Amino acid sequence: MAINPFDNSISQINAVLKNFKLVNPIPEECTDSKELKKLFNKNPYIPYSGYTTDSQHTVLRFIDNLAALSPTLGGVIKSIGFACFGGKTEIKSIVDSDFDIAEEGEEPIRISKEAKLKYLDQLKTIDLNPFDWSSFKNVCFRSLKANGNVFIEVEINQSLGQYKSKITFHPTRNVLYKIPDLFTERTVAISKSWAPEYIKQNPPREVPVFPLVEKDKKGTIKTIFHYKHGENDFYGRPDWLPCMMDAFLEIKNKEYLLTAAHNNFTGKVYIEKENGPGNDTQVENEDAIKAGFDNVAHRWAYNFTNQGTDPQSILLSERAFGAGPSFIHEFNINTNEDYYKKIDQLTTSKICLVNGWSPKLLGIDEGGGLSSNVYIDILKTRMPLIEYYQDSIDNGILNKIITFINEFTGKNEFLGIGIASKNPFDHLEKANKEAALNNQKTKTNDNNLGG
């Protein structure tokens, strides 16, 4: 009976792998530090995820990092943002920020240019600190898309009979809900940092969540509007969570490639020659330390990887005297380019699928070119998604804030008027139609001349 020399090795490998399980790397990325856990144990704050006794607030940072560092996810968010809020804002009649009660085929109420100009002047009195209306809409959208939340503080004060209004966007990382009790309803604490040393010297400000308002000692009215995505009680979640693993894989792939490039083995040829009869080679570690390295491994990495300032391509070694002739081996470097290309295609496909966005709208050519007709046709199929985000930001947040300010300051003539984001690609369709019309005219003229 023939004996397989690999049987014993295979048995050992099977024994090692029998109870082996791949560890999910994401929980480690989302684990709170002892310092952060202590914050929620000692203060009445609600973490973004987890419990006050076992907080997972770092989930928020993890999610924000995915949206910021994943090339495809970040590109999708930016592309949708341009489609939704890349154009100008129009002023229009609104009966209600949540409902459209107009009958089918009914013309919207027209607003005179004079009324629009007066409303525009009123909008310009609102301090957006430090944004304009276009950039303010974009920062709100990016926050909603990145982590599922938008927090906007509204302040109104009166001086010499004149009202001054200010709205301030707060990043989600700067806001924490307080645990409600018998005496206080929904309130948030606001701080630029939650480090113990910082909040000890700079106590967080507390602001009630709309529709609750408060009046401070200076007479300033304050409230904070919170718009969130999802069904969680306090904090929202991004709508792209189903592709979280894909975004994480994309980032880790890039990190691996960067590490590989930094530590890339540069050796191309290995030469081993016979040592002289004296065999007076010094101990390698001692030799390396004398040369200024930590050890022989440090010297090897410095000389034969990209960590060094002048990496070498030839490795020279010695064998004992009388061991035999010199040995030469040439290395074939395998970059596995096809593997990384397929991983990129896989993650890009899944991220676009979950977000309901086409790779063509990201500038990724799927074949057939990227003509204006194809681009506009694809964009039309995404109009429900575009209108959803426009409605979320315009009516779900901004028009409610503007209406609150106008009601509180007695600007009743502006009630029933609001802002609306225009489709920034309308001009593409208009230009396309004009080009088609001009082509038709040219053909007609050519036919007449030919006749």
* SS3 of 261-328: HHCCECCCEEEEEECCCCCCCCCHHHHHHHCCCCCHHHHHHHHHECCCCCCCCEEEEEECCCCCCCEE
Q: What's this model's pTM, rounded to 2 decimal places?
A: 0.75
Q: Which residues are CB-neighbours of 38 under 8 A, at least 6 positions away?
A: 196
Q: What is the per-residue pLDDT for 325? A: 63
Q: Which two tokens stand for residue 68?
A: 């910021």
DSSP 179: P
CA–CA distance, 296 with 397 (Å, rounded to integer): 62
Q: What is the per-residue pLDDT for 394? A: 93
Q: Please return the burial class of 156, using the count of CB atoms within 10 Å of its CB with bins 0-12, 13-18 and 19+.
A: buried
Q: How far is CA 92 from CA 203, 426, 430, 439, in A?
A: 42, 18, 22, 36
Q: Which two tokens stand for residue 160?
A: 């010499």
Q: What is the per-residue pLDDT for 2? A: 47
Q: What is the per-residue pLDDT for 155? A: 93
CA–CA distance, 125 with 445 (Å, rounded to integer): 55
Tens place of pLDDT per residue across the chain (451 aa)? 444 444 555 555 455 445 545 455 555 566 778 888 888 888 899 999 887 887 888 889 989 999 998 999 999 999 999 889 888 888 888 766 566 655 565 556 777 888 889 989 888 889 998 888 889 999 999 999 999 999 999 999 987 778 899 999 999 999 999 998 777 789 999 999 998 889 889 999 999 999 999 988 888 899 999 999 988 889 999 999 999 888 988 888 777 666 655 555 444 444 454 555 544 444 555 666 766 666 655 565 555 554 555 555 545 455 555 556 655 555 555 556 677 778 888 889 999 999 999 888 888 765 555 556 777 788 888 889 999 999 999 999 999 999 999 988 888 888 888 898 887 666 566 656 666 666 666 666 555 555 5
Q: What is the per-residue pLDDT for 399? A: 93
Q: What is the per-residue pLDDT for 281? A: 44
CA–CA distance, 52 with 58 (Å, rounded to integer): 13
Q: What is the per-residue pLDDT for 326? A: 57
CA–CA distance, 406 with 121 (Å, rounded to integer): 13
Helix axes 372-381, 426-450, angle to 10 degrees: 140
Q: What is the per-residue pLDDT for 216? A: 84
